[in-house]
């Protein structure tokens, strides 16, 4: 399957190369946040928010258009002033307003925005009323009980903020895998071009495809005579050199992300790769395995006394330990070594096993492409079916469909399916689960669809019992097929819902509902361990891109990686089914189980 389009790059991961739409939108969003903290005119704030949304949904790259000398077309919400800012960002990477805001507001305020539960409004209040500029000050004020008295805060919020702020302090924030990957791969390319470098690859959590990445680890094989680290620190993205020796260097990039580079001699590349891929827990377990065999394992090789038994490749190292090579996604010390010893490692799902995608949007709601464009892009991504699941009417910010517009789309899909070859569009909806657990559209409409994907988009703060009951009630609905992004977390923005997930998974199992592994970079929802738990409870997982644009089908690769980390095999995943099998699941499985209302 060919998936070439790259994931977005927010301003936090500014790589070299052309400025992407996501970069521009990210700057506009940050301007909106900063303006809001700055007490600016609400219409001005809204203008930047809307512009960011418009730019994210575009189907062409603005920078490419400008480079080709074309004028910007008229875009919703983008007038002369904003068009000027776009030009400025495309030519210089940033704009003066953004830089001015960042320099006039205390820099810590931007950091406060990343604490769960704190949006710009609350940050503004904390800053204006209590002079809080940093996470440390926030903690102190919370511990002194000063935050609860602010209007709209209260004791519970104070306690929650304290927990969130403490979590944020002392560890830099982790970024979504998909945001970090392009940057890491660019650094790898850069390293490979240094004369004398034989191999270079990512290691650490990035190679294990964790949903978030703390820092980037890169491993290089080169002869000792090559001064790799001196070359490396010349890279223009590097802001600070933290540690530098001939064989290792740690730097901070302009985005704040840390990169650790280790250089080893080619003979020990395999052993070093095992070591730096980790995880630490996996390393400890295989080191114990070595000890049991009377051997010693280090980053330089596997040794019996002074004799090196294996070091040049990973396969050789694992083999000398009596193990098959273990794929990096499994190296978390969750039983993979024991399973490998028994020859019981799973046959993990692969990207090419996916036959369809069951969650996608078009321009009809908040996507950026037409039905037809999405169908072609899904075909190009190697898929045979694609469910179109627009937002429903309650979600007004996303132009959710009302009954009339949904019926119109049903007709359009029927007409398009008659023309499409090798691709079937399924009629679906991402229906809002309302506060009381009812669905946002009536039964007689839902009945006409191939599948109903249900999701929470409001009232994220309900107490555990109420949130759980709400979702259980939604799943009781006879047409409910898949629970989308069950946790509703947004990495660095929103904590997972407070709910009884085991109860929900159990209910999904009893009712024949599937659960989603949403592969949007900021979602990656369910987590790996939760997917594994759901599978053990007999629930099928649907790995969905939640595509809003053609390029978003590229996210499926990350969804599959997370599924592999969950030990899932092709059979555990709903959308590896053929279209015919899928339809059986949707009709018989989902609709005729006991317990369905
Ligand atoms: P991250 O950066 O938090 O996303 O997670 P990792 O796994 O990339 O962790 P990192 O960058 O601290 O270290 C990279 C790898 O290096 C880690 O997965 C295993 C190895 N490693 C680092 N420190 C130790 C250690 O103290 N003991 C052992 N056995 N391995 C270590
Ligand atoms: Ca790392
Ligand atoms: Ca590291």
CB within 8 A of 93, min separation 6: which ones?
14, 19, 23
Per-residue model confidence as pLDDT tens digits over 417-467: 999 999 999 999 999 999 999 999 999 999 999 999 999 999 999 999 999
Instruction: State which fold the 108-167 domain adopts.
Output: DNA polymerase; domain 1 (1.10.150)
Strand, coil or helix: 452: strand
Taking residues 89-108, what's their average pLDDT?
Answer: 87
Ligand 1: centre distance to CA 543 (Å) = 28
Cβ–ligand 1 contact at 176 (below 6 Å):
no
Residue 377 reports pLDDT greater than 60: yes
Say if residue 11's pLDDT is above 50: no
Q: How far is the CA of 277 from the centre of ligand 2 (A)?
A: 8
- What is the CA 540 to chain-centroid distance, rounded? 21
* Contact criterion met (CB below 8 Å) for 392 and 431: yes
Average of per-residue pLDDT across 325-334: 98
Please give the average per-residue pLDDT across 39-49, as a whole number. Answer: 89
Q: Is the model's pLDDT at 8 over the cut of 60?
A: no
pLDDT band with cut points at 50, 70 and 90 for residue 245: very high
Tokens representing 437 are 């657990």
The whole-number pLDDT of residue 1 equals: 30
Is residue 213 within 6 Å of ligand 1 at its C-beta?
A: yes
The answer to whether 14-104 and 108-167 have equal CATH topology is: yes
Name residue, tokens 């680290």: 229
Reading phi first (left if > 0) and then psi (alpha if -120 to 50, else beta), residue 333 is in: left
Q: In the structure, what pLDDT confidence band is assigned to residue 36 with cuts at 50, 70 and 90?
A: confident
Statement: 277-341 belongs to CATH 3.30.210.10: yes
C-beta 258 within 6 A of ligand 1: no
CA nearest ligand 1 atom 26, residue: 280
CATH 3.90.1150.10 fits 351-592, yes or no: no
The ligand 1 atom nearest the CA atom of 279: 18
215 pocket-lining for ligand 1 (C-beta < 6 Å): yes
State the pLDDT at residue 10.
35
pLDDT of residue 589: 57
Say if residue 135's pLDDT is above 80. Answer: no
Residues 6+ apart with CB under 8 A from 103: none
Residue nearest to atom 27 of ligand 1 (CA): 280
The whole-angstrom separation of Cα 454 and Cα 364 is 18
| Residue 15 reports pLDDT greater than 60 | no
- Ligand nearest to the CA of residue 277, numbered in listed order: 1
Mutate to test the pocket of ligand 1, among 278, 286, 332 (most ligand atoms within 8 A of CB): 278
Q: Which ligand is nearest to the CA of 216?
A: 2
Q: Find out whether the beta carbon of 553 lies less than 6 Å from any atom of ligand 1.
A: no
Q: Is the C-beta atom of 250 inside 6 A of ligand 1? A: no
The CATH-assigned architecture of domain 14-104 is Orthogonal Bundle (1.10)
The residues placing their C-beta within 5 Å of ligand 2, an ion, are: 204-205, 215, 217
The 8 Å CB, 24+ separation contacts for 296-304 are 297/271, 297/321, 298/271, 299/264, 299/268, 299/271, 299/272, 299/275, 300/268, 300/271, 300/272, 301/268, 301/271, 302/271
Residue 278 near ligand 1, beta carbon < 6 Å = yes
Res 174 pLDDT > 80: yes
Q: Is the pLDDT of residue 260 over 80?
A: yes
- DSSP assignment letter at 1: -
pLDDT at 17: 58
Domain boundaries, the chain: 14-104, 108-167, 175-264, 277-341, 351-592
**Ligand 1 close to Cβ of residue 590 (< 6 A):** no
pTM for the structure as a whole: 0.76
Protein residue with least CA distance to atom 16, ligand 1: 276
pLDDT at residue 16 above 60?
A: no
Neighbours of ion ligand 3 (CB under 5 A): 215, 217, 260
Ligand located closest to 288 CA: 1
CA-closest candidate to residue 13, choices 215, 358, 254: 254
- Ligand 2 centroid–CA 2 distance in Å is 28
pLDDT of 14 above 50? no
Mean pLDDT of 539-563: 97
Average confidence score pLDDT of the chain = 90
- Nearest bound ligand to CA 278? 1
The better pLDDT of the pair 200, 39 is held by: 200
Nearest Cα neighbor of 547 from 290, 383, 360, 344 is 360
Region 249-254: mean pLDDT is 87
Does residue 12 surpass a pLDDT of 50?
Answer: no
User: What's the CATH number for 175-264?
Assistant: 3.30.460.10
The string of pLDDT tens digits covering residues 56-75 is 888 888 998 888 888 788 88
279 CB less than 6 Å from ligand 1? Answer: yes
Confidence of residue 309 (pLDDT cuts 50, 70, 90): very high
Taking CA atoms only, the protein residue closest to ligand 1 atom 23 is: 280
Q: Is the CB of 301 under 6 A from ligand 1?
A: no
Q: How far is the CA of 206 from the centre of ligand 2 (A)?
A: 7
CA distance 195 to 228: 9
For the segment 134-158, the average pLDDT, to the nearest whole number, is 89
pLDDT digits (tens, 9 = 90+) for 460-487: 999 999 999 999 999 999 999 999 999 9
User: With 90 as the cut, is the pLDDT of residue 33 above it?
Assistant: no
Share of the chain above pLDDT 70, in %: 94
């Amino acid at each position: 399957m060919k998936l070439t389009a790259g994931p977005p790059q927010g301003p936090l991961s500014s790589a070299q190369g052309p400025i992407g739409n996501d970069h521009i939108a990210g700057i506009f969003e940050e301007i909106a946040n900063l303006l809001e903290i700055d007490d600016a005119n609400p219409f001005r704030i809204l203008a930047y928010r809307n512009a960011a949304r418009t730019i994210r949904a575009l189907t062409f790259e603005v920078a490419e258009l400008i480079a080709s000398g074309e004028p910007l077309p008229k875009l919703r919400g983008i007038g002369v002033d904003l068009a000027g800012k776009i030009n400025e960002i495309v030519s210089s990477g940033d704009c003066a307003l953004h830089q001015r805001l960042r320099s006039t507001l205390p820099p810590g305020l931007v950091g406060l925005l990343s604490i769960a539960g704190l949006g710009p409004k609350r940050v503004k209040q904390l800053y204006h009323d209590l002079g809080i500029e940093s996470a440390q000050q926030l903690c102190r004020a919370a511990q002194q009980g000063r935050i609860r008295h602010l209007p709209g805060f209260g004791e519970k919020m104070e306690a929650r903020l304290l927990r969130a702020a403490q979590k944020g302090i002392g560890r830099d924030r982790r970024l979504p895998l998909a945001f970090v990957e392009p940057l890491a791969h660019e650094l790898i390319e850069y390293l490979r071009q240094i004369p004398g470098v034989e191999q270079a690859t990512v290691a650490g959590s990035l190679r294990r495809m964790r949903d978030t990445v703390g820092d980037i680890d890169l491993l290089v094989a080169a002869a000792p005579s090559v001064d790799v680290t001196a070359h490396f620190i010349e890279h223009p993205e590097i802001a600070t050199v933290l540690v530098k020796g001939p064989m290792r260097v740690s730097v901070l990039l302009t985005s704040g992300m840390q990169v650790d580079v280790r250089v080893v001699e080619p003979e020990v590349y395999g052993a070093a790769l095992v070591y730096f891929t980790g995880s630490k827990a996996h390393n400890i377990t295989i080191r114990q395995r070595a000890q049991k065999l009377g051997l010693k394992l280090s980053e330089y090789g596997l040794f019996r006394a002074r004799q090196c038994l294996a070091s040049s490749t990973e396969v050789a190292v694992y083999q000398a330990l009596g193990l098959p090579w273990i794929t990096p996604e499994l190296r978390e010390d969750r039983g993979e070594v024991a399973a490998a010893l028994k020859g019981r490692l799973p046959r993990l799902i692969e990207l090419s096993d996916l036959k369809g995608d069951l969650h996608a949007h078009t321009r009809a709601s908040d996507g950026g492409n037409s039905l037809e464009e999405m169908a072609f892009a899904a075909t190009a991504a190697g898929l045979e079916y694609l469910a179109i699941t627009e937002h429903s009417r309650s979600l007004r910010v996303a132009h959710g469909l009302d009954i009339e517009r949904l019926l119109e789309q049903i007709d359009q899909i029927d007409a398009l399916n008659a023309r499409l070859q090798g691709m079937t569009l399924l009629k679906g909806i991402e229906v809002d689960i309302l506060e009381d657990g009812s669905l946002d559209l009536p039964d007689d409409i839902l009945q006409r669809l191939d599948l109903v994907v249900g999701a929470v988009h409001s009232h994220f703060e309900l107490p555990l019992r109420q949130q759980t009951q709400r979702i259980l009630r939604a799943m009781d609905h006879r047409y409910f097929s898949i629970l989308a992004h069950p946790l509703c977390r947004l990495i660095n923005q929103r904590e997972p819902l407070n709910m009884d997930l085991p109860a929900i998974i159990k209910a999904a199992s009893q009712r024949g509902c599937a659960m989603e592994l949403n592969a949007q970079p900021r979602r990656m929802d369910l987590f790996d361990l939760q997917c594994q738990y759901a599978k053990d409870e007999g629930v099928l997982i649907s790995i969905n891109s939640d595509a809003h644009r053609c390029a978003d089908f590229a996210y499926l690769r990350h969804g599959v990686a997370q599924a592999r980390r969950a030990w899932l095999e092709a059979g555990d995943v709903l959308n590896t089914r053929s279209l015919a099998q899928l339809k059986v699941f949707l009709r018989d499985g989902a609709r005729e189980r006991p317990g369905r209302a």
